[in-house]
Chains A and B, each alone.
Chain A
Amino acid sequence: MMWYEIFKFEIRYRLKRSDTYIFFAFMLLFSIVGVEFIFQGVDIGGIKMNAPLVIAKTMGAITGLFMILASMIMGVPILRDFEYNIAAIMYSNPIKKRDYLLGRFLGSYAILLIVFSGLLIGMIIGEFMPWHKPTDYHPFHFYSYLKPFITVILPSLFFGASLFFVSGALSKKLVVVYTQGIILFVIFMLTKAITNDFAQALFDPFSLTTLTLITESWTVAERNVQAIPFSGVLLLNKLFWVLSGIAILFLGYKKFSFTVVKDKRRFKKKTQPLEIQSNDGSNTEIPEFKTAHGLKSKWNELRHFSWFYFVSVCKQPSFWAIVICGMIIILVNSVNLGTVYGVDSFPATYFIIEELQESSMYFFLIILMFYSGELIWKERSVDLNLIYDATSMSNFLNLVGKFIGLIGIYIVLMISLILSGIIFQTMNGYYNYEFEVYFNGFFLEILPFLILYTFIAFFVQVLTNNKFIGIFIVMVLFILNIVLGAFGYDHALYLFGGSSLATYSNMNGYGHFLTPYLIIKSYWLSFGILLLVVASIVSVRGTETNLIKRLKASKYRISNSIKKLGASMGFIFILLGGFIFYNTNILNTYWTNSEETEFRVAYEKTLKKFEYFPQPKIVDVNLTVELYPKSLDYTVEGYYMLKNTSDSLISEVHLQKIIESDVALISVIFEGGATEDKKYKTYDYSIFKLNQVLHPGDSIKMNFEQTYTTNGFESGNGSTTVVNNGTFFNNKNFPSLGYNKKYELNDADDRVDYNLPERVDKAGRKDIKELLNARSGSDSDGINFEIVIGTSEDQTAIAPGTLLKKWKKNNRNYFHYKMENQMIDFYSIVSAQYEVKKDTWTSNIDSLANPVDLEIYYSKGHDYNLDRMMTAMKSSFEYFSTNFSPYQYEQMRIMEFPRYAEFAQSYPGTVPFSEAIGFVLDIDDEEDVDMAFYVTAHELAHQWFGMQVEAANVQGRLMILETLSQYAAIMVLKQQYSEKKVQQFLALQADKYKEGKRRQHKQEPSLALVENQNYIYYAKGAINMYEFQNQIGESNVNLALKRFIKDWNTIDGKLKMKTDRYATTNDLLGYFREVTPEELQHIIHELFETIAPLKISNI
């Protein structure tokens, strides 16, 4: 029973050590908020926070996160004997290797279980925390926690424990213990790359994907209450990892040698040349010199330190293991780059760099946390510290040297990653490397972040003077900072490090975001240096480790130069802080989340009464917009013509300015005069009492002038309304009439907290008021539109309408657009440096019709898919005008805009199209669906469904607008490509639908009653419409749509004119019924009015 003695000793030893308790406490505390942390920002879809599935997934994820902790516990038991030089005594005892290893392993595993029981206990305690809403929870069930802990967590832990124990025992290196968590992470990442669902579930070491797979077909109710069955793929998964664990243990047992000297061959080689040479050195004279302590010698000292520590980390094999892992992961992950609808983008450098940044973060953090500890402890770990400490070196320079050395290490990893990126690009035949983008991506975006956290890590390591605790505190601080940001406390002045740099756009570079970013980073950099100064003063020098005594002794350690440095850094810190505060809080307004929430609540409570207050409608818009891309400003002046379309008198006009502090409504002048009631000025809501009451049918001209001025910078990532290159905004930025529902508080839980009634996304199909609205709070039923836009001389500005005139004045470009016919009140203003591709399309049917001008405005170099888009425009026009109705405008323009948003959006005759989705897709016609083509077709279809026929703002609205556009685009895709491509596209939609359904917690509505669920109106809509035309024939569907448009189009639709309301799905389905044979009538009900499962017969 020798192993039992060793086992007991191990446990007793560990129980006496504080780190065991610290680990446990950490685990416990973290687990209390575990569910919130893991599921933060994820809509878990009406599932209770203590549903067995949620508990199991949280446990799995936390176990994954804390594998490092497992490594620290399991990696050290054998290593310890070598570290404390007790191995020789230990191994010369008459104990068996089996007993020794078994005892140590089981003892450590028992401790591991004790520590991880913090997970179980913590999560249980978490359930009873006072801040939870009882409605989010089932009654407490101990078994719901215990079962996943035993079936899911223990096997994972066993595998981790075996792996870490064996690698620690065989390598006998502490750094291996730190870094082996990474091995498991690599395994985890590799399983993510497996495309086969089953295999992925089988090999996921933390069983997250496994749990997803086995519960995939569960309904919400089942997910809520059903315990996780320990069978099927979960059982196999656990079996696999447990067996792997046993295999590793067995292998380790075979390999482990019960001797102290681990490599005899190497040892011999080293000792042989060290024969003592007995030449007497006593005659040697030591040269005379004076030690220098001036500035130059300090500089030399610093250089020397930096290089010394840099090299010392470079010599660690563990570092290179991290580098190689990083490079491999990137090569695996980069397989899917900038993927939109299953189509990859060209491996442009900015995609690569984003992928690199994302997947390398973990590696950088590991290096940061562990090597900062290693470096701070470098001298002490080899017992060389007393010699160091007795020299005249400066603490500060030494610390800075270590700091710079570590920064050098980051740079090595960055360069390796860049290399792997370039290799990847080359392998894919892409040679436009853009080193500048690589450089910026790492050295501008990542490095400052790492530098700042390295300050923290050094500071904490010095202060705590305990490597493990230091690492943990750094981790906690890191997480805390994220949590703080997530709760909206993200002001650059106190959110450590400020926010990250805005998305890089090929069109706009880093734009105007760069300068504030650098200022904020400098602010934190000065703070970091201050931390380093403090750290250098209180760092351990000599044998005194007690923090209070160190603090007391520090007064003799502050040299003049340190004092000066500290003072100047403090000064810079305060100065920059003041400057930032001036910019973010004085020039601009800073709102925390709760301030914003309260504002929204007050807005609704005060102004909701005006929601359906009779207002005139905008019928004419005539504006002059001046854009200033350099200074990020615009001014707009002009008029709205307002018409009383109601049958009662209107005596006041309610004007809502967009609630944004940098937008100012300079003047509003009503023809005939009005007095302004400023009672609701807080909400930028003005009531103008008209001097002359507006009679039904009367119009009044409202002149206004508005400015948008960018002053300084905002905290966080400011606005993208006007940017240096690629401005895109729409008329929602301009004054609107009446109450704006968009300012209401949306979150259902918050609404309950503030005693607000439940908010419905869409009114029912019988809501009389909303049937008259095409949009939420619509202030127009169609406008005549004319606009002049001025912009800088290198840019082209575009708005809907025919370009009447174009001229230059004061080194600015001016464009005058006018829409010939009535259009919806929805227009975009776009301006950028553009290349243009032009073509025309002439209708085959109506030979008298004017040709339509087709134009694609794109950023230089983004010309990969222009032909596809052009073809899409032509085929779409052909198909839609043949099958639905003629195209109503004289031009169609596609304009690229920066990838701050990833969508394309249809406006009358214009489609702003994001840089991210189509312009740079690498479409392989064999494998991919031509998404540049498809998206173009979809947006063009909106010129019919959205521009010609509008839908009432009630349930089902988005089926009319989006589902029909999907249908139309699919038909064009089928015509241009093949049925097979359509099937491929629909398969993707089916995935999206399933994904969306899983995330949604409300009862799924039918298509006809869809509200804002895009997985229904896009994904399911596409599939069901396709099935519908399969059943009743394409031509019948088209006939129905043709009739629908004819009767309901906004301008002269027969029924539209008669009823004065907009169309609903009720109307639409009527047209469907007309063209459907009697025996198939039931499918209309099935496809559009029920939530029957997808018909995937064809997919």
Chain B
Amino acid sequence: MELIIDNLSKTYSNGVKALQNISLEIPKGMFGLLGPNGAGKSTLMRTLATLQEADKGTVYLGDIDILKQKNELRQVLGYLPQQFGLYPKITAEVLLNHFAVLKGIGNKSIRKETVEALLHKTNLYAVRKQNLSGFSGGMKQRFGIAQALLNNPKLLIVDEPTAGLDPVERNRFYNVLSELGENTVVILSTHIVEDVKEMCTNMAIINQGNVLLKGNPLKIIEELEGKVYQKTIVKSELETYKQNYQVISEKLFIGKPIIHILSDTEPGNHFSRVNADLEDVYFSQIFGNNTNL
């Protein structure tokens, strides 16, 4: 089963073109959707999760026409939105059980079993009797993934799941995700490059409603291999470098700017070659004016 997005477009009533002719083929396994804030990731995710109407285009999961057969899709869908809240005066177990009913797990004992298993899996079993109002951000996010997995989804959509999580929690979260079988299409949207590099077999970068790049992360990195150079500079020189080189990123290291540039040839001038990173790819797509990639 594959998710095929064809020519999907969406323009909001305020004129923002959130999606512009997006076409993607997403196979089973983890798929990373990378893009800066406001790139259209969440719009795409919500459209895939049947929560938003598109203006045109089609989306198919196998035989299911997502834009029309919403309820058929929902039966095999797991969705973790970017932001969500929880009823305060309810325990994790009760709410998870409630979601299990929502997802059509009618049999009481199976439901109980599933809920317990997921609580174990997300490491929430010990706190299952606690009111959700006391949950930390990480626990809340794990609860979110637990509910998304309740119905053994064929399509799992997780929207910016690690925003605001500390590294330990982030790892814990990805551990849960990574265990999903190869039978599921998992779409992970994020603006954190590391996430994609660590987790995904396929990826796309979108910005301003357009797909800039798609493919296998390693292959994509390979394309840049040998073309990335870095140099520690003085802040006042930054503008000069920007004019003379194709600067794809700048960051601080112990308070001093380090820039990465893209160059087919050895730029000299104390630049040193570094191994290309997914981050370089990302920045080159978003900020670089390199369009021939």
Could you list which residues of chain A lie within 8 angstroms of chain B, going by C-beta atoms?
270-271, 273-274, 276-282, 284-289, 291-294, 296-297, 300-301, 304-305, 308, 312, 315, 382-384, 386-394, 541-544, 546, 549, 553, 556-557, 559
Chain B positions within 8 Å of A273 at CB level: 127, 130
The reply to whether B103 and A387 contact each other, CB–CB distance below 8 Å, is: no
* A383 touching B83, Cβ below 8 Å: yes
Determine the main DSSP class of A at the interface with B.
loop
Partner of B102, one of A292, A391, A543: A391
Contacts beyond the supplied A384-B86, A387-B81: 8 A-B pairs with Cβ under 8 Å: A284-B118, A292-B106, A301-B102, A304-B98, A387-B147, A391-B102, A543-B52, A556-B70
> Which chain A residue has the least Cβ–Cβ distance from B157?
A390
B70 near A557 with CB under 8 A, answer yes
B139-A274 in contact (CB<8A)? yes
B85 within 8 A of partner (CB): yes
Report whether A281 and B50 are in contact in the complex, using a CB–CB cutoff of 8 Å: no
Contacting pair B122 A281 (CB below 8 A): yes
A581 CA / B121 CA spacing, docked (Å): 63
Q: Of all chain A residues, which has the CB nearest B67?
A: A556
* Contact of A277 (CB < 8 Å), options: B75, B106, B126: B126
Residues of A near B85 (CB, < 8 A) are 382-384
Let me know if B74 and A391 touch, CB within 8 A. Answer: yes
Instruction: Tell me the complex Cα distance, A292–B149, Å.
Output: 16
Residue in B closest to A289 when the chains form the complex, CB atoms: B110
Option from A277, A301, A553 in Cβ contact (under 8 Å) with B104:
A301
Please list 28 pairs of residues, one from A and one from B, whose beta carbons are closer than 8 Å in the complex, sorted by A's number: A270-B134, A273-B130, A277-B123, A286-B114, A287-B110, A289-B107, A289-B110, A291-B104, A291-B105, A293-B104, A294-B106, A296-B106, A301-B101, A301-B104, A301-B106, A382-B85, A382-B87, A382-B88, A384-B85, A386-B79, A386-B84, A388-B102, A390-B77, A392-B104, A393-B103, A541-B50, A544-B52, A546-B13
Residues from chain A with a CB closer than 8 A to the CB of B53 are 542, 544, 549, 553
Determine whether the beta carbon of A289 is less than 8 Å from that of B105: yes
Which of B13, B77, B123 interacts with A280 by CB under 8 Å? Answer: B123
Residue of B nearest to A542 (CB): B51
Q: Which 6 A-B pairs have the closest CB atoms?
A: A542-B51, A297-B106, A383-B85, A270-B134, A390-B79, A291-B104
* CB of B19, distance to nearest CB on chain A (Å): 14
CA–CA, A296 and B106, complex, Å = 8
Asked if A274 and B117 make an inter-chain contact with CB atoms under 8 angstroms apart, the answer reads no
Contact of A543 among B46, B88, B135 (CB under 8 A): B46
Q: How far apart are the CA atoms of A392 and B150 in the complex, in Å?
A: 12
B256 within 8 A of A: no
Judge whether B49 is part of the interface by a CB distance below 8 angstroms: yes
Q: In the docked arrangement, what's the CA distance between A954 and B87, Å?
A: 75
A271 to B134: give the CA distance in the assembly, Å: 6
**Interchain CB contact under 8 A, B130 and A274:** yes
Which B residues lie at the A interface, using CB under 8 A?
13, 46, 49-53, 68-71, 74-75, 77, 79-81, 83-89, 98-99, 101-107, 110, 113-114, 117-123, 125-127, 130-131, 133-136, 138-139, 144, 147-149, 151-152, 157, 175-176, 179
A390 and B134 form a contact (CB under 8 A) = no
Q: Kindly provide the distance from the CB of A278 to the nearest chain B CB, expressed in whole angstroms.
A: 7
Given A281-B123, A390-B77, verify A289-B103 contact (CB < 8 Å): no
Contact B118 A387 (CB under 8 A): no
Determine which of A280, A286, A312, A390 lies in contact with B149 in the assembled complex, contact meaning CB atoms within 8 Å. Answer: A286
A390 touches B49 (CB 8 A): yes
Contacts of B117 in A (CB 8 A): 284-287
B136 to chain A, nearest CB (A): 7
Residues of A within 8 A of B179 (CB): 282
* Interfacial chain B residues near A277, Cβ < 8 Å: 123, 126-127
Closest chain A CB from B140 CB (angstroms): 11
Instruction: Check if B87 sits within 8 Å of A312, measured CB to CB.
Output: yes
Report A-chain residues with C-beta under 8 Å of the C-beta of B77.
390-392
User: How far is A993 from B96 in the complex, measured between Cα atoms in Å?
Assistant: 68
Interface centre among A276, A312, A390, A543 (most CB of B within 10 A): A390
Instruction: Report yes or no: A386 in contact with B103, Cβ–Cβ below 8 A.
Output: no
B84 to A383, Cβ gap below 8 A? yes
The complex places the Cα of A236 from the Cα of B49 at a distance, in Å, of 63
Residue of A with least CB distance to B138: A276
CA distance A391 to B126 in the complex (A): 26
